Chain A
């Protein structure tokens, strides 16, 4: 009796293999929720109650197979025609399943959630728990919200951007929910997940024609977001760093939000060199003439240096107006840097010039590998880059000389 037997026949539910047992349990759960007893059936409460009890117990077990099954069961439950009187059990069951799916905080392997309504299920779930969390009685909903945000952030669903575009994330309830999730008194893991989620809705939030919340709320949100970023070791979390940079760029690009950006967080601009070419939030910012003024006026002297350095690396892509702003700002910076006995070449602008010169030299060396005639299509991007860098180096040298 001390050891479980090795089963050797193949009919019915009888296997010591845990995978088979999990299959049988989830198969029964799916059946229960897909075809619940009718509301006038006296057994409906007991049936759903036993299913819920089983879910509560199995939710403590974690393994990849279970996570995938929990994820699929979550969507089944969200679609389940549960009688209204038992809706609280439905929500509880959905909480347990999504918790089982994202307990490990890992993407679910081999998930096939290419249906648009899957995202809708998660958003419906999220809204429900935002409502509970921000309601009058203010229930603690950190875990369900975190799991729902995980489901959106970690999904491999290619239809997610489309689904989110059709979803209005600027509705009052949703905005309050995100504000709730980013606040300092929430679970650190929830705040991290929220940081990861924000880039998915930043277009609706920060590029809206009219502000989605009042100034006080925006200020509060920015402080909450800044403290959430501070709570994370960004060097160990590159995904969160990228998410934070995205949100920061969208904020400073927004006329409504830029006054509320926490100045200390402009230090994140130092890492702009890490972003890939064509990074859309950055492209939006570099040609926005207001951005350079916003950053210059912020109470963070290093922020303008980081931004100017970034702009010089993209000098050729800038609009003429922004180029003029850049030259003017660079002169101001160099003027401030010039102190008796200081070495200009070691200043940030000098270092930027040096970097660009070295880069230019490197590009030219690469170009020499191609014959000058006939023209080689592979050399065209290098020629353009060399031309752009030459333009920037020339302009910066001109400013430096005088």
Chain B
């Protein structure tokens, strides 16, 4: 047919009028266009089904890889490895891809229904009406449950479409501008980098968050400046920053997921082991404060720790103090307003008179001081466990760092702690070292990044 058409066009272009058989247009000898249309849709449906099956098989492999424990090492190492994989899934929107599979199958079913209805309509309208009826009913049912699930998140008939619509609406729930936001969201999704480290603003020498990372494609390296120009760092250069990010992610995830008291206690015990550096963007500060607050009986006006929650209160207070002081040092929570939010509603928790629990009382006393309720702490009344005393010395070093950054004089609680520690018969060397570091800070002697560090937990 194409040949015939070309012949007519060539003749006309040469000025010859086609005549006879040459002048008649060729007729279509293939299948009916409706059949072509229907077959195209049927093939589309088939392709969508096959692709869904293909991706489903791949997804099965991905999940198997995620589930397997393919490394040896400590619990911390393995947990970090698993957290790293989980972070990858989140960063690469694995859930979205998997949720897309049923959507493709549903689209495939829709295409099949449409193609069948269209095809049967030209063959037999009675049979077609049955098919159209069921297909319409199915589509209507789907639209209804999608609408219901979109309007009510608690509706059990969730579909992938309803989840996507719900997500898009929820994405900008405040202003209902989800259409505009959707565009932005797509841009965000497609321009999203795998590693989204925030490059902090340079705060000058001595500012703790003044560090950077170099992406060397296969790994992330800390930027280590020249010794002559190196700013004073708050954290050990050999600290594995990425691991602490994983630790923090793990802590936050478990805090959100777990309700078991023992797990919560273990998490709070673990929090002081993490260096909450500026590369960590989310902290459980508010949650920790609430957990600690719940351990107190406020009915009498002045908070009293509930005896059975004593350990929980201590661990929460220790974790909170560790977290708040480290984050204050790098100005994160402070800038974000979380600190102000807690400070504004905080009421003194330390007991007015010493009740014999040195570790808890001293921790609460420092928390009160940090949250703007300074009070004299009689360190000489306390009889600390060595572990707590060592920890307290180290955390007060962060406190001193924070205060002296703002050119303020050392708070009394720190001075009294140093005096008390120096006057002990044989204080542990690490406490003396921390106290001497605080004195060094007072004199403006810059700390080396190795001066503040964390022990290896493994």
Q: Which residues of A contact B (CB under 8 A)?
A: 1-5, 7, 9, 11-14, 16, 18, 21-22, 24-25, 28-29, 32, 46, 49-51, 53-54, 56-58, 60-61
Contacts and interface: CB of A to CB of B under 8 A. Distances in A.
Given A60-B418, A60-B422, 16 more contacts: A1-B272, A1-B322, A1-B391, A2-B394, A3-B430, A4-B429, A5-B454, A5-B455, A12-B448, A22-B436, A25-B436, A32-B443, A49-B409, A54-B442, A58-B439, A60-B423
A4 B415 CA distance: 20
Contacts of A13: 440, 445-448, 451
A53 B390 CA distance: 23
Contacts of A11: 227, 448
Contact of A53 (B387, B410, B422, B437): B410
Interface string B302-342: 00000000000000000000100000000000000000000
Contacts of B236: 5
Contacts of A7: 450-451
Contact of A18 (B322, B429, B454): B429
B455 A3 contact: yes
Interface string B416-454: 001100110000011011111111101111111111011
A58 B227 CA distance: 29
Contacts of B419: 57, 60
A16 B394 CA distance: 13
Contacts of B407: 46
A313 B25 CA distance: 161
Given A2-B390, A22-B436, A28-B443, A14 B430 contact: no
Contact of A25 (B415, B418, B422, B439): B439
Contacts of A32: 443
Contacts of A12: 227, 446, 448
B455 A61 contact: no
B273 interface: yes
B388 to A, nearest CB: 9
A4 B439 contact: no
Contacts of A24: 440, 445
A5 B453 CA distance: 6
B423 to A, nearest CB: 6
A7 B409 CA distance: 29
Which of A9, A13, A24, A29: most chain B CB closer than 10 A? A13
A58 B445 CA distance: 15
A57 B322 contact: no
Contacts of B439: 25, 54, 57-58
B95 to A, nearest CB: 35
Contact of B430 (A9, A16, A28, A54): A16
Which of B273, B275, B390, B445: most chain A CB closer than 10 A? B445
A18 B436 CA distance: 8
A28 B444 contact: yes
Nearest to A56: B415
B390 A57 contact: no
Given A2-B387, A57-B415, A60-B423, A18 B433 contact: yes
A46 to B, nearest CB: 8
B382 to A, nearest CB: 17
Contact of B443 (A3, A5, A51): A51
Contacts of A5: 236, 450, 453-455
Nearest to B427: A61
B455 A1 contact: yes
A21 B433 contact: yes
Contacts of B387: 2
B445 A4 contact: no
A25 B391 contact: no
A58 B444 CA distance: 15
A8 to B, nearest CB: 8
Nearest to A52: B442
B394 A29 contact: no
Nearest to A59: B422
Contact of B440 (A9, A25, A53): A25
A21 B442 contact: no
A67 to B, nearest CB: 14
Nearest to A55: B439
A9 B450 contact: yes
Contact of B394 (A1, A49, A56, A57): A1
Contacts of A3: 390, 430, 455
B69 to A, nearest CB: 28
Contacts of A1: 272-273, 275, 322, 391, 394, 454-455
Contacts of B432: 18, 61
Contacts of A54: 439, 442-443
Contact of A21 (B275, B415, B436, B449): B436
A256 B419 CA distance: 49
A107 B422 CA distance: 21
Contacts of A53: 409-410, 415, 442
Contacts of B394: 1-2, 4
Contact of B422 (A9, A14, A51, A61): A61
Contacts of A28: 440, 443-445
Given A25-B436, A57-B435, A14 B443 contact: no
A57 B400 CA distance: 13
A24 B445 CA distance: 8
A49 to B, nearest CB: 8
Nearest to B227: A11
Q: Please provide the 6 A-B residue pairs with the shortest distance between their CB atoms, ordered closest to farther.
A: A14-B448, A4-B430, A60-B422, A5-B453, A21-B436, A12-B448
Interface in B44-87: none
Contacts of A14: 447-451
15 contacts: A2-B391, A4-B434, A7-B451, A13-B440, A13-B445, A14-B450, A21-B440, A25-B439, A28-B443, A28-B444, A32-B443, A53-B415, A57-B438, A58-B439, A61-B432
B172 to A, nearest CB: 41
A147 B434 CA distance: 29
Interface in B125-150: none
Interface string B17-48: 00000000000000000000000000000000
A16 B448 contact: no
Contacts of B438: 57
B228 to A, nearest CB: 10
Contacts of A21: 433, 436-437, 440
Interface string B248-291: 00000000000000000000000011010000000000000000
Given A4-B434, A18-B429, A25-B436, A57 B442 contact: yes
A61 B422 CA distance: 5
Nearest to B322: A1
B333 to A, nearest CB: 19
Nearest to A9: B450
Contacts of A56: 415
A7 B432 CA distance: 16
A162 B450 CA distance: 51
Contacts of B455: 1-3, 5
A137 to B, nearest CB: 27
Contacts of B447: 13-14
A25 B440 CA distance: 6
A288 B333 CA distance: 85
Contacts of A51: 443
Contacts of B275: 1
